[in-house]
Amino acid sequence: MSFDSATVQKIARLARIAISDDEAEKLQGELSAILGWVEMLNEVDVEGVAPMTSVTPMTLKKRRDEVTDGGYAEKVTANAPESDEHFFVVPKVVE
């Protein structure tokens, strides 16, 4: 399996990272090499093996469905590159 330039651009689009044609070309080689290397996993017989879902045996904890946090919009938006009255400001998304 190896990547072509179109696949690299497609993944980059999915990941929301703009990449130039030069970068795509370089990544094509690097990602193909990494993918070639992980193909080693095909040697392993995983028939009937359950995929790991939790690395230590634990049951996910539950709690009452009630508000335990919040009420500080000022703090939440304090680091925003652009905000207005506790809203994050972005380019227009709805026509």
Partner 1 sequence: MSKLSDLTIAGMRDGLAGKSFSATELAESSITAIEAARDLNAFVTEAPEKALEMARTSDARIAKGEAGPLEGIPLGIKDLYCTEGTLTTASSHILDGFVPGYESTVTANLWGDGAVMLGKLACDEFAMGSSNETSYYGNVINPWRNRGSNKPLVPGGSSGGSSAAVAARLCPGATATDTGGSIRQPAAFTGTVGIKPTYGRCSRWGIAAFASSLDQAGPITRTVRDAAIMLRSMAGHDPKDSTSVDIALPDFEAALTGDIRGMKIGIPKEYRMDGMKAEIETLWTQGIGWLKDAGAEIIDISLPHTKYALPAYYIVANAEASSNLARYDGVKYGLREQGVDITELYEKTRAAGFGAEVKRRILMGTYVLSAGYYDAYYLRAQKVRTLIKRDFEQVFETIDTILTPSTPTAAFAAGEKTDPIDMYLNDIFTVTVNMSGLPAISIPAGLSSEGTPLGLQLIGKAFDEETLFRVGGVLEEAAGFDAAPENWWA
Q: Does 12 bind partner 1 (CB under 8 A)?
A: yes
Please report whether residue 60 would count as binding partner 1 according to CB under 8 A: yes
Amino acid letter, residue 57: P
Rg (CA), the chain: 22
Using CB under 8 A, which of 2, 4, 25, 80 touches partner 1? 80
Kindly state whether residue 67 participates in binding partner 1, applying the rule CB under 8 A.
Answer: no
Q: Considering the rule CB under 8 A, would residue 46 count as an interface residue with partner 1?
A: yes
- Decide: 23 and 31 in contact? Cβ < 8 Å: no
Whose CA is closest to 31, among 10, 51, 52, 46?
10
- Number of residues lying near partner 1 (CB under 8 A): 49
- Assign 3-state DSSP to the chain and report helix, strand, coil percentages, each to 5: 40, 5, 55
Binding site for partner 1 (CB under 8 A): 7-8, 11-19, 27, 30-31, 33-35, 37-38, 40-44, 46, 49-53, 55-56, 58, 60-61, 63, 72, 75-76, 78-82, 88, 90-93
